[in-house]
Structure 1
Amino acid sequence: MTRAPFLSATLVPVLLGGALAARAGAFHGGLFTLALVGALALHVAANTWNDLFDWKSGTDQANNDYFLPFSGGSRSLELGLVTERGLAITAWTSAAIAVACGAAVAYFGTPWVLAIGAAGGLLGFCYTAPPLRLAARRGLGELAVALAFGPLLVLGVVTAVTGTLALVPALAGLPLGLLTANILLINEIPDAKSDAVTGKNHLVVTFGARGGRAIYVALLVAAVSSHVALVVAGLVPAASLLALAALPLGARALWSLAKHLDDRALVAGNKATINLQLAYGLLLTLGVWLG
């Protein structure tokens, strides 16, 4: 029910933030550990809130076309593995752990992390929770994911570790945020029919599977272009372009989107998109560390 395989979407930006802090000569192992645990806990909370509110809205019950474990939620409620109360307890316990980590960082470091963490928590909660239900608002859900798993998360880690609020970490997180938004986007394709029935009007429901595919391509191009622009501007080291070695995974995902947009063989593209975010982010982090 926590959808642990997706936690790499949080782990990679946290590692990038740690590398940027080390590059600035201000790495603190204790504060980094608190930031890591807090970020992972908040992601678990967001995943379980997502399951809970998608269940309450009827979205997951209406979905028979999901690709486990990539779309359709965790199915933990549908399969009777947990109750609504148990899911809510998991979500709020995870959120409490995140708050405790944030409070510790604020005490030993800077209170700025509380504001950044609160922003991330609100995006995670409001993604599927009414009345905002960002996931149903024609692109706001995808935007929330791109911000939360890119600029906001990298900025939060660097701020937690260094005690300094700066623009560069947020910009450095943009490529990862865009790649993570593509994980969401390709996972929306098999869910689109049932999501439309329950009013979850995300980008694929709004523009159709082919429109979603075009947006996927645009986000992938934007992720790479923004990374190259950061290097050209001297904001991240040229060694970070090592991440481009992960792009064959992007090509694999694009092939799946071209050939299997309307059938279950698309699952290979779902896998490739997750692996692309992971590999690209790890290589980007390594390049920042080496550079």
Structure 2
Amino acid sequence: MKAKSSNTASVRQNSLYAWLLAARPKTLAGAAVPVMMGLTLAWAYLYRLNQQACGVDAMGTSVETGTLSWVPAILCVLFAFIMQIDANFINDYFDWKKGTDDEHRLGPRRACAQGWVTPKAMRCAIAVTTLIACVVGFPLVFYGGYDLIWVGVACVVFCFLYTLLLSYIGLGDLLVLVFFGLVPVCVTFYIQTHTLTKEVILSSLACGMVIDTLLVVNNYRDRDNDRRVGKRTLVVIIGEKATEILYFALGLMAFHMGLTFFFQGQYFTFFLPTIYLMLHARTYRKMKAIKRGKALNGILAENARNMFIYGVLFSVGVVLDALFIS
């Protein structure tokens, strides 16, 4: 599939390998973590209801006890993955069309800009992946109600708006908080339980903050090029020093969202993410030391690892608290 074994510059146009590069599989962790957290919280909620032999939640709402429904769980995972790939295709195509991805780009090369995928093929791929996401996501209405149609529509619309407009006016971080935090965690939980709790909402915000650190590093690396092409990301707007503070603060605030679990005696859920906070602090120091250049790609990879570790630590903590403190 490649003319040279290790040189992505010689990727054969529209080959399977070219599409793999365009899909950016490493970004799928950002789609997996919110759904994983939502499913783990739902499992713990249902487990406690079963242990108490009670079908009434703290708000007095009748809830049928049971276990996780695996069909909607799988659909949530698939929808999240497909939408992430769709977002990557959209970002690849429209940033190429706007001229943002040029020879000055510091990050990994993009498929359209490098000629690995033709613009016509990418437009078709965007249409197909959007359609597949809708087909996969639609059955969720039978588990969570027809209001989920509007959630799905919002996911698709803002998937396009992110690259077309919002990332250029400093609103990309807000979209991450909503569509990689609040929406996937809360919707995944709601589909399984038909309710929401304060803990779930705070956890979804924490998830969004952790994932936003990835966008902050990405835009921190690209700040000079973004400023040159007129892309006003939040990093460009607030500047280098404020961005460094924001980066560390996001991880710190996400960790402290866990205080709601601590005050309820769910200590595993609060203390296990301490490991994430230590990793985040170390990555923060490295980012500040590097400042500029392609070396920040290593920080991006390290941050993606931290993000996934946070999701795993949080989920393990939720499970342990449900099993031992019920």
Superposition TM-score, scaled by structure 1 size:
0.89
Indicate yes or no: 2:194 matched with 1:159. Answer: no
What CA deviation, in whole Å up to 9, does each residue of 1:3-55 have, x standing for no partner? 11011011011111111111122410111001111111111111111111111
Following superposition, the deviation at residue 167 of structure 1 comes to 5.2
Q: Which runs of no fewer than 5 residues in structure 1 stay unpaired?
A: 69-73
Following superposition, the deviation at residue 216 of structure 1 comes to 0.8
> Structure 1 92/250 Cα, relative in aligned 2: closer, same or farther at 3 Å?
same
> Structure 1 233/99 Cα, relative in aligned 2: closer, same or farther at 3 Å?
farther
Indicate yes or no: 2:283 matched with 1:259. Answer: no
Distance in 2, matches of 1:148 and 1:227, equals 20
Distance in 2, matches of 1:227 and 1:159, equals 20
What corresponds to 1:50 in structure 2? Answer: 91
What corresponds to 2:104 in structure 1? Answer: 64
Percent sequence identity over matched residues? 27
Indicate yes or no: 2:168 matched with 1:136. Answer: yes
Indicate yes or no: 2:62 matched with 1:30. Answer: no
Q: Which runs of no fewer than 5 residues in structure 2 stay unpaired?
A: 1-21, 47-66, 322-326
> Structure 1 281/108 Cα, relative in aligned 2: closer, same or farther at 3 Å?
closer
Following superposition, the deviation at residue 163 of structure 1 comes to 3.7
My pick for the range that moved more, 219-228 or 13-22, is 219-228
> Structure 1 96/162 Cα, relative in aligned 2: closer, same or farther at 3 Å?
farther
- Which amino acid is the alignment partner of residue 94 of structure 2? F
Distance in 1, matches of 2:255 and 2:136, equals 33
Distance in 2, matches of 1:165 and 1:176, equals 16
- Which amino acid is the alignment partner of residue 298 of structure 2? A
Distance in 2, matches of 1:255 and 1:65, equals 24
Map 1:1-291 → 2, pairs under 5 A: 1-25=22-46, 26-61=67-102, 64-68=104-108, 74-129=109-164, 133-138=165-170, 140-164=171-195, 168-228=199-259, 230-232=260-262, 234=264, 237-241=266-270, 242-291=272-321
Following superposition, the deviation at residue 112 of structure 1 comes to 3.1
SS state at 1:77 partner: helix
> Structure 1 263/5 Cα, relative in aligned 2: closer, same or farther at 3 Å?
same
Native 8 Å contact 2:262 2:269 kept in 1: no
Native 8 Å contact 2:140 2:148 kept in 1: yes
Following superposition, the deviation at residue 142 of structure 1 comes to 0.8
Distance in 1, matches of 2:235 and 2:280, equals 19
Distance in 1, matches of 2:195 and 2:72, equals 13
Following superposition, the deviation at residue 285 of structure 1 comes to 1.0
Native 8 Å contact 2:199 2:261 kept in 1: no
Distance in 1, matches of 2:280 and 2:38, equals 23
> Structure 1 7/272 Cα, relative in aligned 2: closer, same or farther at 3 Å?
same
Distance in 2, matches of 1:187 and 1:75, equals 14
Distance in 2, matches of 1:37 and 1:261, equals 36
Distance in 2, matches of 1:282 and 1:93, equals 32
Distance in 1, matches of 2:153 and 2:140, equals 13
- Which amino acid is the alignment partner of residue 239 of structure 1? F
Native 8 Å contact 1:31 1:109 kept in 2: no
SS state at 1:196 partner: helix
Distance in 1, matches of 2:261 and 2:93, equals 41
Q: Report the aligned-residue RMSD.
A: 1.9
Native 8 Å contact 1:142 1:184 kept in 2: yes
- Which amino acid is the alignment partner of residue 27 of structure 2? F
> Structure 1 246/221 Cα, relative in aligned 2: closer, same or farther at 3 Å?
closer
SS state at 2:23 partner: coil
Distance in 2, matches of 1:237 and 1:104, equals 34
SS state at 2:153 partner: helix
Distance in 1, matches of 2:147 and 2:278, equals 38
Native 8 Å contact 1:252 1:272 kept in 2: no
Superposition TM-score, scaled by structure 2 size:
0.80
What CA deviation, in whole Å up to 9, does each residue of 1:101-155 have, x standing for no partner? 22111135422332222222222221012xxx110112x1111112211111101
Native 8 Å contact 1:109 1:163 kept in 2: yes
Native 8 Å contact 2:38 2:186 kept in 1: yes
